[in-house]
């Protein structure tokens, strides 16, 4: 197995770039076959990736089942992360942070994964109807029972992070973070640094936009980008102007756009761990090439100039999903 540079998440030492497993079962039209998914997951492990991130929501549990079939025989080679609170039940997205629901969701995930222990277990979203202290209580009890190793939060703001951390130390906060989505820079990043929490960056390639793979909005049915305002119509046409400048900058730098993005994310702090997702072994290899790219102050300034305020138009999420996001928003940010 290849050895990659590492970073720390709570008690775990993981590869500096992990793998988000969502799109092997969820969110981007028809999922690849189980065989193709298994091939990619094993290639990731062979390449030195030691953080695999899944969730109960992804494919209504099918993503966890895929990991069980594909890589759990290599359990000692990676840190396993999954999530609760968000789920897909009978085709409907459900948000439920009650302690009893968290406990039941965890048991289902353990069964699907074919294991008795998940290393890092996140609350996928904040359920505003349930005090976060109550939700954390369920996770603390799960840790005490040996079912999980560390606790994480996803898409939560600084105030919620502090409340949760007061109950029990939080190992990781997983939020969207890329040059096009910088909400964590409002308050979350500072809170994580202060409290010694890792910031796990999902969608660092902006759902393919910054990798140069989104050029039009003719998405297939089942692709979540069809409902995301910044990926459609006039918003997308506007956003591609910035993307084109970014792609050109990557060419001038001597790397691919994906590598430049991931190198930028890694440069944001030693506690930041990006988890790009892909269905392509070639793209995975390309992503890992980011570990050889150096971000200079001049490059940082150039990227900041390309993605200055106004460069990206359109909300990150459709209106209903945005209501489930606790991360702080900018004063002029479009939210629907």
Please identify every residue annotated as catalytic.
58
Contact of 322 with 334, CB cutoff 8 Å: no
Of the candidates 313, 28, 23, which has an alpha carbon nearest to the alpha carbon of residue 181? Answer: 313
Which of 91, 107, 173 is closest to 142 using CA atoms? 107
Rounded to the nearest 10 degrees, what angle do helices 233-253 and 257-267 cross at? 90
Distance, CA of 52 to CA of 71 (rounded, Å): 10
Neighbour-count burial for 20-47, b at 16+ CB within 10 Å, e otherwise: bbbbbbbbbeebbeeeebbebbeebbeb
Give the position of tokens 């792609």.
247
Residue 6: beta bridge partners? 15
Residue 289: count of CB within 10 angstroms of its CB: 16
Coil, strand or helix at 148: strand
Distance CA 265, CA 181 (A): 11
- Would you give the end-to-end CA distance of the chain in angstroms? 45
Distance CA(112)–CA(22), nearest Å, equals 15
């Amino acid at each position: 197995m290849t050895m990659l540079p590492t970073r720390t998440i709570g008690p775990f030492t993981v590869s500096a770039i992990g793998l988000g497993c969502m799109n092997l079962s969820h969110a981007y039209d028809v999922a690849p076959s189980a065989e193709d998914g298994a091939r990619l997951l094993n290639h990731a492990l062979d390449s030195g990736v030691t953080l695999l991130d899944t969730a109960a929501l992804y494919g209504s549990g099918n993503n966890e089942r895929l990991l069980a079939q594909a890589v759990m025989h290599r359990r000692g080679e990676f840190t396993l992360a999954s999530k609760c609170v968000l789920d897909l039940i009978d085709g409907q997205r459900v948000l439920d942070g009650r302690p009893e629901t968290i406990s039941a969701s965890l048991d289902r995930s353990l069964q699907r994964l074919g294991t008795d222990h998940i290393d890092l277990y996140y609350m996928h979203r904040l359920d505003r109807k349930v005090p976060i202290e109550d939700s954390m209580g369920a996770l603390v009890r799960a840790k005490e029972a040996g079912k999980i190793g560390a606790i994480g939060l996803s898409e939560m703001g600084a105030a919620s992070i502090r409340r949760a951390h007061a109950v029990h130390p939080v190992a990781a906060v997983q939020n969207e973070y890329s040059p096009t989505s910088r909400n964590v820079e409002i308050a979350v990043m500072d809170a994580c640094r202060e409290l010694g929490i890792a910031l796990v960056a999902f969608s660092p390639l902006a759902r393919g936009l910054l990798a140069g793979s989104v050029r039009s909005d003719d998405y297939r049915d089942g692709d979540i980008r069809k409902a995301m305002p910044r990926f459609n119509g006039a918003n997308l046409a506007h956003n591609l102007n910035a993307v084109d400048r970014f792609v050109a900058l990557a060419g001038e730098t001597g790397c691919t756009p994906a590598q430049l993005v991931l190198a930028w994310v890694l440069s944001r702090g030693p506690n930041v761990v990006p988890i790009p997702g892909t269905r392509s072994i070639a793209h995975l290899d390309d992503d890992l090439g980011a570990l050889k790219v150096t971000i200079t102050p001049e490059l940082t300034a150039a990227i900041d100039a390309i993605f200055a305020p106004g460069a990206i138009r359109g909300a990150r999420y459709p209106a209903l999903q945005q209501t489930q996001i606790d991360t702080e928003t900018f004063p002029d940010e479009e939210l629907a």
